[in-house]
Amino acid sequence: MAQHSVTSVDRGAHTVSRQVVVDAPAADVFALVADPHRHPELDGSGTVRDTPVTGPDRLGPGARFSVGMKQYGMPYKITSTVTSFADDELVEWQHPMGHKWRWEFEALSPSQTRVTETFDYSTIKVPKVIELLGFDKKNGVGIEGTLSALATRWPG
């Protein structure tokens, strides 16, 4: 059985990154994350709403998708674009504000995968604003929730 503790990963300035080992093949975990219609069930932050998602059933290079969000009691819709993609290994999308969400999948064995999720705000014009508003810490907590739930989804 895998160690299901979520750990921090240093990816440099203006990034928040965590990882966990999941007792599932990389292709299975990747398939869940690469389906934007399943993001509400994947989200550990409580911000992704269970509303209809628009976009493909499976993300790929350049794909666009929209999800309903809610923060501070305010609902809104966000459209993201896939900026990096490699089957069963990597999917990354960028929000209109410029920050990115990156998911990496490293097969440790045929039945075990190291999953790393990264919130990268180094690509926005004034990254310090994210820190002043506390979104770096808030997103770190959300990532931990997401990865913990992901690891317990496949109990081993």
Give the model's pLDDT for residue 2: 43
Domain boundaries, the chain: 7-153
Quick one: how many helices (H) and strands (E) in the chain?
4, 7
Greatest pairwise CA separation for the chain in angstroms: 43
Q: Could you report the per-residue pLDDT of 83-105, keeping only the tens digit for each?
A: 999 999 999 999 998 999 999 99
* Model confidence band, residue 51 (pLDDT cutoffs 50, 70, 90): confident
- Tokens 């919130």 appear where? 119
Chain segment 6-35, per-residue pLDDT in tens: 999 999 999 999 999 999 999 999 999 999
pTM of the model: 0.91
Architecture of domain 7-153: 2-Layer Sandwich (3.30)
CB 12 within 8 A of CB 122: yes
What pLDDT does residue 1 have?
43
